[in-house]
Each structure stands twice: as C-alpha cells, then as structure tokens.
Amino acid sequence: MSDKAKKTNDVTAAIKELRRHLLEKGHRFERGPAYESQGKALSSVSQAVRMYEGMGYTKFMQVGDPPVYAMLGRGHQEMHIFQPQDPQVREWLEDDQVALNDPTVRAYLMQGTGLSEGELPVASKPQRFRITEVGDVYIITSEDAPPERR
C-alpha cells in the first residue's frame, strides 16, 4: 500500500471514529452564535488551532494538509475545529432553520462513514455540543448535557 493510500485510510478511520463519538446516543447539538468581526474572524483551522493553543488548549489530533479538522481539549472540555468539506453538511450548518438533531441529518452523517444506529453506543455521559461559526471555521465545544426531564 502506498503512503498516500495509507494516509487516506488513516483519515477515513479517524473520521469514522470521530463521528461515532459525536453521534453517540444521548448527545445533543445546538447552534452557538455566528461571529463576524472586522479582520479578526478565523479563516483556517490552523489559525484557530494556534489561537486556542495560546489559550491553554492541547491539540490531540489534526487531519488534512492544510488541516480541515482538529481536536483539542482543556480540562474536561473537548473542542473540534473544522471546515466542512461536504457541501450538504455546510448547507445545513449555514441554515438556521435546519434542526441539527434531525434524524435526516443524523442518518446522512452516519451513512457517510458506513455507520448504523445499531453500531452507536449510548453515551456514558451525555454531552451537549455547541456549534459556533467563526468566519470560515466551525467550532464544536462540549459541555455536560442537563438531565432529561420526564
């Protein structure tokens, strides 16, 4: 297997595991604010990673050259920084009317990496993931989800 084919397989496996983690049953997605500022908006994953490393976050993983995804953490908080490569995913993220927890969105994300609902575990500690757009970059931050009301 060539180095390029191995890297492609590694990236595909990493994305599948990431999606498996984010789509665990019990996790919820919410929209955060969209930030746009004069010259301060983030234009790349690399720029965002450098900024958050400067605030004490540790980079665990980065995918792509140039990077299109990175995972960082600080304490119990995880952070995912990405630029969507799939036009359908980008469209959903940009459309405030699309419910990010909609079964259609979920099924599409699972289909993209060959996952099925049966393969996904129930989250041991459900989290709420807040997706915020900052310029050309999306940032997903985690927080513990509030207990479900009955």
CA-CA distance, 96 to 82, in Å (whole number)?
18
pTM exceeds 0.85 for this model: no
Q: Which of 72, 60, 64 is nearest to 11 (CA)?
A: 64
The pair of structure tokens assigned to 101 is 């927890």
Reported as a single tens digit per residue, the pLDDT across 12-51 is 777 778 888 889 999 999 998 766 554 567 889 999 999 9
CA-CA distance, 13 to 113, in Å (whole number)?
9
Reported as a single tens digit per residue, the pLDDT across 85-104 is 889 999 999 999 999 999 99
CA-CA distance, 18 to 13, in Å (whole number)?
9
Number of Cβ within a 10 Å radius of residue 69: 20
